[in-house]
Amino acid sequence: MVGPTEIAFIAVRALRLNLMRSILTMLGIVIGVAAVIAIVSIAQGAQQQVSDQIKSMGINTIIVSPDTPVTQTGGGPPHTLNSLDAEAVMKRCSAVTAAAPTWNQSAKVIFGNRNHQTSITGTTGDYLVARKWSVRSGRFFSADEEAMAAKVCVIGNTVWEKLFAKKYAIGKVLRIGDTPCRVVGVLQSKGRLAKGDDTDDVILIPLKTAQWRLFGATYPDEIHQIFVHAKDTSLIPTAEKQIQDLLTRRHKITRKQDKDFSISNMKEILDANKETMNIMTALLAAITSISLVVGGIGIMNIMLVTVTERTREIGIRMAVGAQPMDIMVQFVIEAVALSMTGGMLGFLVGIVGSYAFSYFSGWSIVISPLAVFAAVGSSAVVGISFGLYPALKASRLEPIQALRYE
């Protein structure tokens, strides 16, 4: 019986004799493995980026919103939340460390000969805690400035770049519409969200300044949202329950009535995002894996042609003592060698392609060892699975008939 080393040598030599055919046969495996690695790396990178952005906004953040539509002009039905609700949440909910009421509206801001359309958020000092944010330079407006509806503001990084061209802005006066506001601080940059929203394109002003001086609240103390910060991630359900019970009592909502507010939290958003991204990644990986099957069919097709072409060679080997098992092992080795070589080349192409995509697009990527192992390992399985039939066909040839084959 021929030794395994000699069988492997014969198989590799046969592949080298038909080098171009071998390369073309491997192409399907190369594309399949590269596609799986690249797709999974990009998808997991996107998931990680979104998760980091959500965490940067405060994983302990709870958002209380009215169930009636919030309009940009302040018209429409009365808002169901007011600043007194936020004060009550802060005072009476033991699982809460901060509760920041907000008024949100878009407006044009002007400084010198520059102007920019941005988001204006009226809020209180609790906003930085609730949104896990900080001031990079200058300061945040004080409680006295909030109470007096002072014309002061803290600007986001994008507004600083657009209006002040990255120059010193503290103490300068910009105009929000026709109202002058003195810049007292610049926020730390948070960057863009995955869907494209720029979190730095914002100006924070005292809540009463927004309600009284700039936009004119239609209803007393009306607000658009409350951002609440729970003491700990484990206390988020407790905090939500406390908020719900408190607002239900304050708004005099009976059991038969629908609540006029809704509660969500960043952890729920993060978990939902992870679940969605995992499903999408699995779906994309499954779709791209089809090319591995196509590559396997290509290997089987070529191996069947090879068996036919080398029928006489098989007969000679059997005539000089080769066993059917030797013939079968040889052709299986050839199939596995093709698929594994294609798998390794696909691994290199997938890694290089992933980093190239990241470089040119600016997206982050995460190379998953599991995805790499699965993709390359699948190439070996494909080689064995689709190479087994041609190998069995070769091993079952009758020596005399094989020697007579022309």
In the chain, where are the structural domains located?
4-53+272-404, 68-259
* pLDDT score recorded for residue 73: 44
Strand, helix or coil for residue 111: strand
**pLDDT per position as a tens digit, 35-58:** 888 888 888 887 777 776 666 666
- Whether the Cβ atoms of residue 107 and residue 120 lie closer than 8 Å to each other: yes
pLDDT of residue 219: 67
Least Cα distance to 59 among 235, 210, 184 occurs for 235
Cβ atoms 68, 77 nearer than 8 A: yes
Handedness of CA 100, 101, 103, 104 (dihedral sign): positive
Tokens coding 254: 């009976």
Give the pLDDT confidence score for residue 328 in this predicted structure: 80
Tell me how far apart the alpha carbons of residues 22 and 12 are, in angstroms, rounded to a whole number. 11
- Average pLDDT, consecutive stretches of 10 residues, N- to C-terminus, the chain (406 residues): 56 65 77 84 78 69 76 51 90 92 92 92 91 91 91 94 91 92 92 69 93 76 89 88 91 82 79 75 75 77 74 74 77 78 86 87 78 77 76 72 57
Helix (H) or strand (E) holding 65: strand 61-66
Phi, psi of 165 (to 5 degrees): 50, 40
Which contiguous run of DSSP H or E holds residue 391?
helix 369-395
pLDDT in tens, 346-370: 889 888 988 888 888 777 788 878 7
Burial 170-201 (b: 16+ CB within 10 A, else e): eeeebebeeeebebbbbbeebeeebeeebbbb
pTM: 0.64
Collapsed DSSP state (helix, strand, coil) of residue 329? helix
Distance CA 64, CA 179 (A): 29
